[in-house]
């Protein structure tokens, strides 16, 4: 008898299959977006731009641990969805247990290292004398939630691999809603400022992780976190890492690139850093929705690939690309025209607002191609194509962005021109994604009828 959890992967119409998987993923990303905006928004209500700058500086550091969650989440999702498509459910259990215990262990080690080296870390990410104490507060407290942050980010993806996108979405909603509700209480009512934002973040991460743990211990899932099912061999570790490392490298390089651009902007003053941080939040409105679309469709594509159904795979991909382009175009127009009110919600310092407004409109220029980029990234990952995934992951925010940023910062002596490095990179990355998908398709689909 066919499992209800995979019924929609196999038999639903393409639009229904895509929408059913994509909508919960996009809703999850909206919650992540609101969670990211909430910290900056409520810190902004303190009318202290230095606190806004501190949170903006600390955020990229913790994106590294979200990237570790992405390693196990995207790598595990890719392998598990293919295993389910092939009917190998025991190996799917082994894979989910491997992802859980490996990710949690790395989180515990990372938490200890952050406590020990918190001040050097804050200096590396660009904290000035004016923002150091605030950045230290945020980093030290948020580090407590790193193990739960990794687990939550891993299984918000992995649970979608078994055809349960609503459960994956619910965990994200619970965690992020806790953060959003607690932010104004702890930042404004208790007057804890940056520390309050950090505490709310930790509690949100814990709630999300605990929700997923309860689900994975229930009888509703075909996955497992039982230590007895933990297995490294049988190509489980290599299968997860082959796709997970490229996926996490993209996030890690995004974090590193944010740290680099923050360090460049410190040369223009803390208000430029605050403005850039807010611009990144505005741009995130488009980016997170399109990431949700890409990650939402990946399990469906992985199942089709594992089942050897090239016709359905391509139908899903075509529909997803059209949907992504339409969403990109609409959201780009909305964010470009609404940049003023959005930036005003976070900043009232005139200098910081000026930077935030300019940077927001520059960053959003990437919008029209971002949907195509994220769908193709996930399409490549769904096939298990490690080398093309690795090339694309290290290119966008690494091989392409870092040299472009270095050239722009050296050639131009104006902060707004330096910010153009990101949209230039994104258009080049989208072109590279198209080329790599064509290469992947010709190689990995040659055996399918």
Q: 16: which 2 tokens? A: 């229904």
Taking the CA atoms of 279, 282, 286 and 292 in sequence, report the sign of the dihedral they define. positive
The per-residue pLDDT for range 22-75, each reduced to its tens digit, is: 888 888 778 777 777 777 778 878 878 788 778 877 776 777 777 788 889 888
Residue 11 within a domain: no
Residue 340 within a domain: yes
The per-residue pLDDT for range 151-198, each reduced to its tens digit, is: 998 998 899 888 788 898 899 889 988 988 999 999 988 889 889 989
End-to-end CA distance of the chain: 26
CA distance 344 to 377: 34
Residue 434 within a domain: yes
Determine the pLDDT at residue 74.
Answer: 83
CB 363 within 8 A of CB 422: yes
Residue range of the domain that includes 350? 16-443
Q: 321: which 2 tokens? A: 């690309």
CB 355 within 8 A of CB 276: yes
CA distance 395 to 421: 14
CA distance 146 to 209: 11
The per-residue pLDDT for range 373-385, each reduced to its tens digit, is: 999 988 888 887 7
Residue 6 within a domain: no
Residue 10 within a domain: no
Q: How many domains does the chain fold into?
A: 1
Residue 256 within a domain: yes
Strand positions, DSSP E, 31-139: none
The per-residue pLDDT for range 111-152, each reduced to its tens digit, is: 999 888 988 988 887 788 888 899 899 889 989 999 999 999
Residue 31 within a domain: yes
CB 137 within 8 A of CB 194: yes
CB 56 within 8 A of CB 346: no
Residue 49 within a domain: yes
Q: What is the largest CA-CA distance in the chain?
A: 66
Residue 81's Cβ-side half-sphere holds a number of Cα atoms within 13 Å equal to 36
pLDDT of residue 351 exceeding 90? no
CA distance 182 to 345: 19
Residue in this structure with the two tokens 């902007």, named with its chain if needed: 265
């Amino acid at each position: 008898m066919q499992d209800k959890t995979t019924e929609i992967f196999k038999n639903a119409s393409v639009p229904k299959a895509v929408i059913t998987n994509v909508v919960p993923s996009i809703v999850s990303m909206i919650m992540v977006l609101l969670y990211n905006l909430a910290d900056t928004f409520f810190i902004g209500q303190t009318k202290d731009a230095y606190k806004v700058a501190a949170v903006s500086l600390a955020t990229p550091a913790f994106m590294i641990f979200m990237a570790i969650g992405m390693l196990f989440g995207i790598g595990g999702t890719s392998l598990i969805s293919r295993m389910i498509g092939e009917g190998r459910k025991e190996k799917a259990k082994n894979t989910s247990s491997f992802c859980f215990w490996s990710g949690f262990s790395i989180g515990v080690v990372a938490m200890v290292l952050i406590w020990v080296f918190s001040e050097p870390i804050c200096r590396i990410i660009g904290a000035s004398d004016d923002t150091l104490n605030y950045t230290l507060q945020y980093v030290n407290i948020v580090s407590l939630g790193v193990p739960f942050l990794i687990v939550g980010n891993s299984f918000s993806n992995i649970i979608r691999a078994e055809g349960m996108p609503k459960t994956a979405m619910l965990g994200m909603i619970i965690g992020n809603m806790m953060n959003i509700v607690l932010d104004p209480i702890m930042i404004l009512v208790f007057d804890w400022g940056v520390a309050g934002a950090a505490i709310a973040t930790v509690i949100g991460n814990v709630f999300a992780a605990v929700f997923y743990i309860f689900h994975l211990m229930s009888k509703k899932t075909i996955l497992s976190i039982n230590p007895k099912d933990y297995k490294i061999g049988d190509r489980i570790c290599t299968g997860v890492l082959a796709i997970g490392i490229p996926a996490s490298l993209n996030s890690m390089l995004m974090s590193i690139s944010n740290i680099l651009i923050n360090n460049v902007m410190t040369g223009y003053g803390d208000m430029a850093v605050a403005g850039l941080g807010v611009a990144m939040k505005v741009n995130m409105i488009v980016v997170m929705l399109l990431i949700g679309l890409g990650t939402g469709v990946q399990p469906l594509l992985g199942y089709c690939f594992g089942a050897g159904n090239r016709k359905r795979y391509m139908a899903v991909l075509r529909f997803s690309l059209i949907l992504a382009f339409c969403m990109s175009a609409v959201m780009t127009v909305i964010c470009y025209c609404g940049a003023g009110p959005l930036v005003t919600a976070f900043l009232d310092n005139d200098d910081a607002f000026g930077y935030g407004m300019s940077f927001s409109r520059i960053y959003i220029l990437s919008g029209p191609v971002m949907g195509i980029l994220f769908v193709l990234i996930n399409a490549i990952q769904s096939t298990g194509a490690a080398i093309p995934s690795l090339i694309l992951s290290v290119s966008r925010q690494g091989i392409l962005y870092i040299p472009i940023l270095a050239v722009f910062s050296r050639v131009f002596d104006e902060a707004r021109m330096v910010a153009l490095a990101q949209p230039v990179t994104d258009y080049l990355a989208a072109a590279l994604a198209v080329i790599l998908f064509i290469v992947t398709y010709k190689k990995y689909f040659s055996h399918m009828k």
